[in-house]
Amino acid sequence: MDETRCWQAVVERDKGADGEFVYGVTTTGVFCRPGCGSRTPRRENVRFYGSAAEAAAEGLRACKRCKPAAADAEEAARRQMQEVCGFIRGSVMQGRLEERTGLKLEALAERAGMSAFHFQRKFKAVVGVTPRQYVEAIRMQTLKENLRAGETVTQAIYGAGFGAGSPVYHAVDTRLGMTPKQYRAGGADVEITWATAETALGKVMIGATDRGLCFLEFGETEAELLEQLAEEYPAARREAMAKPYSAEYAEWMAGLRGFLEGEREMSRIPLAVHGTAFQRKVWRYLQTIPAGSVQSYAEVAQGIGEPKAARAVANACGANRIAVVIPCHRVIRGDGGLGGYRWGMERKRALLDAERKRARAGAR
């Protein structure tokens, strides 16, 4: 445990570090979370512990103000739901249709050793979306990867675990913002309207087709964002959104602002993904990290089955051009430092703080 970093978190009352460790004060016999609002103790009287159980084992009692004992239960739930997320990811990525039964709510709840009702509540509190929404999100991401890899539309849809039937095709079209064939061709024969807005994290551009949202990026200027949109969809026709803006645009912006302010989870955002096979593998894994949790570059490398590729994972995170939906902000250095972030360190810290705020609110 890096005691220098831990002490800095205590001094700053960093709520983002809650759940990572607790600190005990020898003169009062009390242990607290890093973000506790109580008076900052003297450094020489402070001891750090990896869990509330460790602090209690040394005779310290839990602070009644910040209730640090609850952190252990939250962390255990987070790890359990992360394991379920890994199972879902593996089943979908392997493209086996026979796994569909195993991805139903009842089967996932049984895997976690809970009732369906309790599991659904716990999963949403930790991950931010329902199990069904999470399964669909992973399937959609797999579909996009399959299309970009050159598979036929039918192969890509079945390979992502979708069944046959027009309702499935309609849902896929809506989530991509265009037909799978058009998506695969870089937006050919598609008209994309765009608009920019100011958010808590700066200027953002949203692009949409008549089928739904297809672009979301942060940037410093409108010109910079337009260049990124052109690079993402080189074959599409791109026009500024006419004012007054549509009700759909207002709804998307309300959802984005709510997400950035820690009030809601953002899901089902259809964005294109360009990159090497390794980068796509990393980006797909990042989408399985529950909101409010973080992993190190080494842990991500281990998670994708490439334990020696931590540096390559960091490079893949740096190459990610899809903000929020591919959450590379949830990856930090092994020593606990934030590491880098394409859209700036202030945005990374703000995103993590917002997700932890939402996770804590959902757990209450």
So which residues are the catalytic ones?
A: 32, 328
Residue 172: closest CA among 209, 127, 141: 141
CB contact at 8 A, 13 and 23:
no
Distance CA 209, CA 227 (A): 18
Tokens coding 229: 């949109």
Residue with tokens 């080494």: 298
Distance CA 167, CA 178 (A): 15
Residue 202: closest CA among 142, 158, 256: 256
Preceding peptide of 131 cis, ω within 30°: no
CB contact at 8 A, 317 and 299:
no
Strands (E), 212-326: 212-219, 237-240, 295-296
CB contact at 8 A, 114 and 126:
no
Tokens coding 254: 């309300």
Q: How far is CA 226 from CA 195, 196, 320, in A?
A: 10, 10, 17
Three-state DSSP class for residue 43:
helix
Radius of gyration in angstroms for the set of CA atoms belonging to the chain, rounded to a whole number: 22
Three-state DSSP class for residue 209:
strand
Distance CA 103, CA 282 (A): 22
Pairing assessment for the beta strands 30-32 and 61-62 based on DSSP bridges: parallel
